[in-house]
Amino acid sequence: MSKVGETTLVLDLSALEHNYNYLRSQIRPETKFLGVVKAFAYGSDMIVIARKLEQLGADYLAVAYVSEGVLLREAGIQLPILVLHPLASNFDDLIEYYLEPSIYSRNILNQFLETAKLTKKTAYPVHIKFNTGLNRLGFSEADIDYIAEKTKNNGSIIIVSALSHLAASEDVNEREFSLKQISSFENLSNKLTEKLDYAPMRHMLNTSGIINYPEAQFEMVRSGIGLYGYGNQANVDAHLRPVATLKTVISQIHQIDINESVGYNRAFKSNKPLKSATLPIGHADGIGRQYGKGKGFVTINNKKAPILGNVCMDMIMVDVTDIDCKEGDEAIVFGPKKSAENFAATANTISYEILTAISQRVKRELKNN
């Protein structure tokens, strides 16, 4: 991996391919695979990741909002794209770019039917979302007759899938609850199929679900965080490779005397002489203030350098007293040797948060393999 001269998120597409192939190996050959690329592909690069997944043979992509799907279409992505949380105000764009909505309520169903009719669409693909216990979005069993009545003889749309979402698929202590969700979804999807003249495909498993509940893979599975190298379980992480490495450089080194302070609000005060290094990365780049005051750390020349004082908007200062380093040397925030999960844990949060927090202003670079 080449040295960087500025704060850079290095993306390893060979790691993405490895993760995709591993997750594929956990499901039946005929089961479809949906790659989740919402939130700028978990903070990496949505277009680059989508193109690679398309090349690898993924069957579907998923985004959270219509605007994300529009960016993919404008970049030339041809795969079917599921919009997980469409809003009625974006239905015109959704249809123009041939994105597929997850319909989760009577209100959204009626508004989409109206838009599809006005735009003279026929057999437009939609997905029906059931709530089986996450209590976030989704229809209930009481809505099935209504869904069938509204859609069965309506030529504007066709239901291509029924879906739901596990609430705690990575938690072995919640196995009973997850099995109850799976049973509920199977019951709901079967009842929907009985009301229709055709059988939509079904999908409910996320990354942890793929690993822990393969019997519930139905016709398709969805993976997000696993594609990027994290499996929510140490035994799964061992099979995956982090795609993103966040690197920066030392801008300046200071000698700090006893009783001197470092950073805003004098949040760090030295009780001994030390050496600090200033790095051009801060909370505007995704390193939140919760990582300050010695909680978070970077790695410089294979040694741990704790963050001193408060994280600034564009900079952090780290303790390099015992590190042989100079201005221009690299600092690793997270990557294969120090995962985003481990970095996030220093502030009592999860890999998803630090990955998706990485600012768009941070340079993206593809690793030269």
State the Rg of the chain over Cα: 24
Average pLDDT over residues 133-154: 96
* 3-class SS string, 240-265: CCCCEEEEEECCEEEEECCCCEECHH
Give the β-pairing of 252-256 and 60-63.
Answer: unpaired
What is the rounded distance in angstroms from the CA atom of residue 82 to the CA atom of residue 66? 9
pLDDT at 261 exceeding the cut of 60 = yes
Q: Which residues contact 286 (CB under 8 A, 6 or more apart)?
A: 43, 354, 357, 358, 359, 362
The 10 Å Cβ neighbour count of residue 106 is 13
What is the rounded distance in angstroms from the CA atom of residue 227 to the CA atom of residue 104? 26
Cβ proximity of 251 and 282 under 8 Å: no
Catalytic choice (264, 275, 293, 304) = 264
DSSP class of residue 228 equals G
Which of 203, 146, 168, 169 minimizes the C-alpha distance to 31?
Answer: 203
Average pLDDT over residues 156-173: 96
The 10 Å Cβ neighbour count of residue 205 is 28
Q: Is 38 a catalytic residue?
A: yes
The CA-based dihedral angle spanning residues 20, 21, 24, 25, taken in that order and rounded to the nearest 10 degrees = -150
| Length of the chain (residues) | 369
- The residue type of 335 is G
What is the rounded distance in angstroms from the CA atom of residue 347 to the CA atom of residue 139? 36
Give the β-pairing of 124-129 and 100-103.
Answer: parallel
Q: pLDDT value at position 166?
A: 98
Which of 181, 197, 220, 16 minimizes the C-alpha distance to 100?
Answer: 220
pTM over 0.85, yes/no:
yes
Q: pLDDT value at position 2?
A: 64
Q: Is 264 a catalytic residue?
A: yes
Query: What share of the chain in percent tops pLDDT 70?
Result: 99
Query: Which tens digits make up the pLDDT trace of 4-41?
Result: 999 999 999 999 999 999 999 999 999 999 999 999 99
Which two tokens mark 4? 């960087």
* Half-sphere CA count of 285, side-chain side, radius 13 A: 24
Angle subtended at Cα 369 by Cα 304 and Cα 6, rounded to the nearest 5 degrees: 45
Cβ proximity of 263 and 317 under 8 Å: yes
Catalytic choice (20, 22, 32, 38) = 38
Q: Which domains does the chain have, with CATH numbers?
A: 31-228 (3.20.20.10), 244-366 (2.40.37.10)
Work out the pLDDT band at 178, boundaries 50, 70, 90: very high
Query: Which tens digits make up the pLDDT trace of 308-347?
Result: 999 999 999 999 999 999 999 999 999 999 999 999 999 9
Which two tokens mark 43? 């903070």
